[in-house]
Each structure stands twice: as C-alpha cells, then as structure tokens.
C-alpha cells in the first residue's frame, strides 16, 4: 500500500496538473490579467523535487532511447547560459532559466501518476463548461475588447473538448455519460467558433473525424458511414449555415488570405531569411531572435517552435529540433497504445499542442509540450498488459 504522504503528493500533483491545463480559463473567468501558471509551474517543480527526495520514483530513471534527448537537453541548456555570458547579455539569463525549467517538465511529466485520474478530467471539464458558456453568452465582446490572444483563450477549452471526444468514443463509458460528453464537446467547439482561433477549431474537427472513423470504419460499413455523414449534414444544415454567418473563426477560415502582410508569418520568414548569415551556425543566442525581429518588424518570436530553436541556438538548435521531431513521431506512431484511454488522450493533446506551437507561441513557454512528452514516455515505458498492435489505426 502507498503511504499517506505519497498519496498526498500524487493528489497534489494531479490538482496542480489540472489547474495548469486550465490556467488561461481561470484568468479569463475571473477577469484578471494575472496568469495562475506563474504560481502553479514553480509549485509543480517543487513537488516533483519533493517526490524524488522522499520516495523511490522512476521519473529520473532514463532508458536508452531517451539518453540522446536528455543529452541534447543538457547541451542546449549549457549553450543557452554560455550565450548570455559571452554576449554579455545577462538580461536573457531569465530565459535560460525558463529553458531549463521547460526541459524539467519532461521529468515532471514522467513523475505524474500512471493511473487514470477522474479528478484531473473533472477539473478540466468543469472549467471548460464555465468558460464555454461565458464565451457563448455574448461574453466574447469582453475578451475581444481586452485584446487577449485568442489562442490562449481557447487553449484550455480545447483540452476539455479533447477529453470529451475521447470519452465519447470509449466503449466502456455508459450511454448517459456519452451524451453528457457529446454536449460538452459541442458546447466547447461552438464556444471556440466565437473566437478567431482557426487552428483550435479545425484541429478539434479533424480529431473528431479521426476518432469517429477509427472506431467505426470498416470495409463493410464505410458506405453507411458516408450516408450517415451526409444525412447529418443535411439535418444540421441550418446550424451549419448559422455558424457560417456568425462564427468569427469560420469567417476567418473562409476568407483566409495574407492581405495583412505586415503581420503575416511570411514576413517573419522573409526577415529571418534576410538575416540567415547571422544565425546559421551559432544562432542569435538566448533572446537574440526577439531582439532581431523586434528591431525590424515588431514581432517577438518566429511563431514556430522548431524554427525558434534553430534561430536561437544555430546548428545545435537545429539538431535538437530534428531529434525532438523524430522522438515525438516515433513515440506517437510506434510507442503509444491507441487502445488505451490515457495514452490516446495525451497523444491527441500533444499533437494539438505541436500544431499550436508551430503556428504561434515561443519555445520559452513550451511547458505543456514537454510535460505531455514525459507523460507519454512514462505510460508507454511502464505499460503492464499484453503486447499490442502499435498503430494509430487500431
């Protein structure tokens, strides 16, 4: 039996993990500019250290397939601090510390309990419901007036939508609960449609299609599925038409263009290409990409996680990005058990985050990506069941 102190640590880990996922929703619901993650992230790190000191944990046990990734973690971190010292840019040491903490979130993910936690799902879904209702009840004006990043607004809601989707297609879940999760999924997607968040909206729709087809599609019933989809489309066409006319995100999708060139991603890439000779070998150094872009086009980062590793740390950053992409791809395609609820859920969230961080955000706030990589590695390494067919196609 687990000791009371260990159970308490696990419970606190789960609560902090859930609150970390809904941090953006908390700040939006309570109309505060304070980001709860400022407190939650250090608490998660301290709790992780406490667990290592107090219990016999496996979170710091590294298997062979992880050694290269961990080695690259260390090399990039050391190079980050070295850049600050050599370039006499001590203001960027905070970013170097952020980078180390982000990498530590990989181990924090590995340290989280392997058991499915209803508490985590309950907290995430509860905040998803509240936040979605606020967005749908003409509350979106409040958010838009405050000029807050719509991706941040919808990120926490998207977690709840993914949880609901995965639960919806679980055969072990009772019908009444499936109806409940279906309502939550629709509620959250409709709420996201009130914002400008194209990526979140499209990814959630694609996830639903993926889960639906994966669960139901066979050679025998594929024609019936096509007929069902067509019937649903015809039946709900008034709702679809309403969304087309009133949804901000649908309007953005339908009118997608790069007309606003001053703020387009293309201009960021063109600017970086113009400075390629400056960073192609050793990079701009910690915080150097922001300085370079802000001085030319008033953009703080390249809006692409893998690209930013390269622009910041040159060849070392490019090697790290390539290996990280390989490591994640191998994990998702060959290590994850797509028949297991927790692994399937965390895998979809990781894919969602990767797409999000390839569209926006900086590597210096990539905590959730490394957290979910650690979670998946932990689950896949410690799975206790029969050998499975490791395929996303079931």
CB 233 within 8 A of CB 240: yes
Phi and psi based region of residue 31 (left: phi greater than 0; alpha: psi -120 to 50; beta: remaining): left
Per-residue tokens: 381: 């390494």
Rounded to the nearest 10 degrees, the angle between the axes of helix 341-357 and helix 150-168 is 160
What pLDDT is attached to residue 230?
Answer: 67
Mean per-residue pLDDT of the chain: 80
pLDDT at position 346: 93
Q: What is the CA radius of gyration of the chain?
A: 22
The whole-number pLDDT of residue 1 equals 46
pLDDT in tens, 160-218: 999 999 998 888 888 899 889 999 998 998 888 877 777 888 889 889 888 888 877 65
Output the CA angle 10-52-69, nearest 5 degrees. 100
Q: Whole-angstrom Cα distance, residue 197 to residue 189?
A: 11
Query: What band does 391 get if pLDDT is binned at 50, 70 and 90?
Result: very low
Q: Summarize pLDDT for 351-363 with one digit per residue, the tens.
A: 999 998 988 888 9
Q: How far apart are CA 270 and CA 284, in angstroms?
A: 16
Question: Rounded CA gap, 137 and 261, in Å?
Answer: 33
Per the structure block, which two tokens stand in for 296? 């030319």
Burial of 22 by CB count in 10 Å (0-12 exposed, 13-18 middle, 19+ buried)? buried
CA pair distance 166, 212, nearest whole angstrom: 10
Cα gap 116→287, rounded to integer Å: 39
What Å distances lie between residue 335 and 101, 163, 378, CA to CA? 26, 21, 11
Whether this model's pTM surpasses 0.75: yes
Mean pLDDT of 280-304: 87
d(CA 180, CA 283): 50
Segment among 122-131, 232-241, 340-349 with least mean pLDDT:
232-241
Tell me the angle at which helices 198-216 and 150-168 cross, rounded to the nearest 10 degrees: 10
Those residues with Cβ within 8 angstroms of residue 28's Cβ, 6 or more apart along the chain or in another chain: 131, 134, 143, 148, 153
Q: Identify the band that residue 219 occupies on the pLDDT scale cut at 50, 70 and 90.
A: low
Residue 270 has pLDDT above 70, yes or no: yes
For residue 155, the model assigns a pLDDT of 87
Between the CA of residue 371 and those of 44, 74, 339, what are the distances in Å?
11, 17, 21
Q: Compute how many other C-beta atoms are within 10 angstroms of the C-beta atom of residue 183.
A: 13
Over residues 135-144, the pLDDT tens digits come to 888 655 555 5
Burial (CB < 10 A; 0-12, 13-18, 19+), residue 217, is middle
């Amino acid at each position: 039996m687990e000791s009371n102190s260990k159970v308490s640590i696990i419970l606190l880990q789960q609560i902090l993990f859930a609150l970390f996922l809904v941090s953006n929703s908390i700040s939006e619901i309570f109309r505060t500019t304070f980001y709860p993650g400022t407190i939650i992230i250090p608490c998660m790190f301290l709790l992780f250290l406490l667990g290592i000191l107090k219990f016999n944990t496996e979170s710091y046990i590294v298997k062979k397939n992880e050694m290269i990734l961990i080695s690259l973690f260390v090399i990039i971190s050391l190079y980050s601090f070295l850049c600050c010292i050599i370039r006499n840019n001590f203001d960027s040491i905070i970013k170097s510390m952020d980078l180390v903490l982000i990498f530590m979130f990989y181990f924090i993910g590995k340290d989280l309990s392997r058991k499915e936690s209803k508490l985590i799902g309950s907290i995430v879904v509860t905040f998803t419901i509240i936040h979605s209702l606020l967005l749908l009840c003409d509350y979106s004006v409040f958010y838009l007036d405050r000029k807050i990043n719509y991706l941040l607004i919808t990120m926490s809601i998207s977690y709840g939508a993914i949880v609901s989707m995965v639960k919806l297609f679980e055969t072990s879940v009772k019908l009444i609960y499936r109806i409940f999760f279906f309502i939550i999924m629709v509620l959250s997607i409709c709420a996201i449609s009130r914002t400008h968040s194209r990526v979140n909206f499209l990814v959630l729709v694609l996830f639903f299609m993926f889960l639906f087809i994966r669960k139901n599609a066979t050679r025998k019933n594929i024609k019936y599925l096509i007929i069902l989809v067509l019937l649903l489309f015809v039946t709900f066409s008034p709702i679809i038409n309403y969304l087309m006319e009133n949804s901000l995100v649908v309007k953005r999708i339908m009118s997608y263009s790069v007309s606003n060139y001053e703020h387009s991603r293309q201009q960021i890439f063109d600017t970086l290409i113009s400075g390629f000779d400056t960073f192609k070998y050793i990079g701009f150094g910690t915080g150097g990409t922001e300085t370079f872009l802000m001085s030319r086009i008033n953009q703080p980062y390249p809006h692409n996680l893998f690209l930013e590793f390269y622009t910041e740390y040159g060849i070392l950053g490019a090697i790290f990005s390539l290996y990280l992409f390989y490591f994640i791809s191998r994990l998702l395609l060959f290590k994850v058990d797509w028949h297991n609820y927790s692994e399937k859920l965390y895998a979809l969230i990781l894919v969602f985050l990767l797409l999000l961080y390839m569209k926006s955000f900086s590597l210096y706030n990539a905590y959730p990506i490394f957290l979910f990589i650690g979670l998946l590695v932990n689950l896949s390494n410690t799975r206790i069941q029969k050998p499975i067919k490791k395929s996303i196609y079931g």
